[in-house]
Structure 1
Amino acid sequence: MPEKSPSRGERRKLRTRAALIEAAQEIYSQRGDFDVSIQQITEAADVGFGSFYNHFSSKAELLEAAIAEALETHAAWLEGLLADVDDPAVVFATSMRLTGRLIRTHPRMARVMMNMNSRGALLEASYGHAAHARRDIEAAIDAGRFAVEDVRVALACATGCLLAVVHLCETDPKASVDDMTDQTVLNVLRMFGMEDAEAHRIVTLPLPVDEPPTVSI
């Protein structure tokens, strides 16, 4: 049986929820915090104040949904883009190279990641880049490509290195985002036990040309 199309009321609810999430993404990326009233959020979303509680029980729940949707959309795009790559080390490195370039391609999302990291939420999230990166690290260990004793420590090191260089690129307008990101990924691969020549080969592979998904952040 074909799926039933959403009714007019259901479509309206979906549009309202999407508007609230988009407003939350915009506010958080611009401010770096969510210290605003629900009235301000609904005004930014151009929806009625009473509509808020039809979708979310609190501002915290809305913010969690807004961040999760943006980061998971981008992480899922990376996963689809690299679905045909057999080497998990290449998958990990390419994902890291593309994520580092967010400060150039999607600066708002890069700032959201840095804001999350500042409060320790990025590594603990069950969605988005960190969750996917952890899986890729584990696959590379199983394939004998990485020599890592503790996956959680490895993920923390990789995340810290990447976000640090993103911060450097954001604060230095003369910095080459691509070069600095690739140098960072090269050093991470070395840290994970990869031979220098192989690490160099991986970080000089051509990047996929597909455009990242359009998200509000």
Structure 2
Amino acid sequence: MSSPDAQSVARSDRRRARTRQKLIDAARGFLRSPDYGERSIAEITEAADVGLGSFYNHFSGKEELFAAAVHEVLDEHGVLLDATAPSADPDPAERVAVAIRSTARLVITNVEMAHILAAQGMAILDSDTGLMPRARRVLGAGIASGRFTSADPELLLTAIVGALMAALHQWVRTPSRVDESWCDELAERLLVLCGVPAGEAAALAHAPL
């Protein structure tokens, strides 16, 4: 059995973890809006139902908190992409198609995440988690194997991410215009951009997920 002191430390650690997560959860709520950076620490702690003095036990400032919240969302997006990725010896084009469709369809399957990614915009390109490292690997493999057009993978990555962020922005502005078919057609066009023949691109983009 653990000692009373060890139990006390464990309880304290759990309380700290809960407080930190409450702050991150509150920050995620603000991240849904592009002007989240204008929120004050007092607003954040009020939303988290955490004392103002407790904030600095976990974060040096709101910038660090928002960075942690974004990182958490991107990690969750990465887990989603891994869960939906084809498993057995996947075709790079199929993986790209599924990743694009899964990300675009967040507007239907995970509205909070869609809002947060839309608010991040092209800053996503600077991320080292979530979509970016996975897309780099798949695009690089597709180019190396000849499946995709011979191009700088960063160029294709910029085009794909730019299109996805534009799609999410379009959804924020006019939700009624973006549905599953719209998301699938976006994937089809981007596969063609990568050099996949039009017929194959259409089949991959409209296959059951």
Q: Given the two structures, how large is their TM-score scaled by the length of structure 2?
A: 0.88
Larger RCO, structure (CA 8 Å, separation 6 or more): 1
Give the 5 Å matches for 1:99-178. 99-117=103-121, 120-178=122-180
> Aligned runs of 1:1-217 on 2, under 5 Å?
7-30=10-33, 32-82=35-85, 84-85=87-88, 86-117=90-121, 120-207=122-209
The CA deviation at 1:105 is 2.1
Give the deviation of 1:44 after TM superposition: 0.9
* C-alpha displacement of 1:59: 0.8
Aligned residues: 202
Instruction: Could you tell me which runs of 5 or more consecutive residues in structure 1 were left unpaired when the two chains were aligned.
Output: 208-217
Q: Deviations over 1:94-120 (max 9, x none)?
A: 011010011222223222222212xx4
Distance in 2 (CA, whole Å) between partners of 1:84 and 1:155 is 22
CA distance in 1, matches of 2:186, 2:84: 22
Asked whether the 8 Å contact 2:32–2:115 carries over to 1, the reply is: yes
Unaligned runs of 5+ in 2: 1-5
Give the number of the structure whose residues are more often helix, by fraction: 2
Distance in 1, matches of 2:150 and 2:118, equals: 25
Over the aligned positions, Cα root-mean-square deviation in angstroms equals 2.0
CA contact (8 A) 1:32 1:112 kept: no
Superposed CA offset, 1:28-59 (max 9, x none): 21464221221211111111212111111111
Identity of aligned residues (%): 36
Please tell me whether Structure 1 or Structure 2 has the larger radius of gyration of its CA atoms: 2
Q: Distance between the aligned counterparts of 1:10 and 1:83, measured in 2?
A: 39
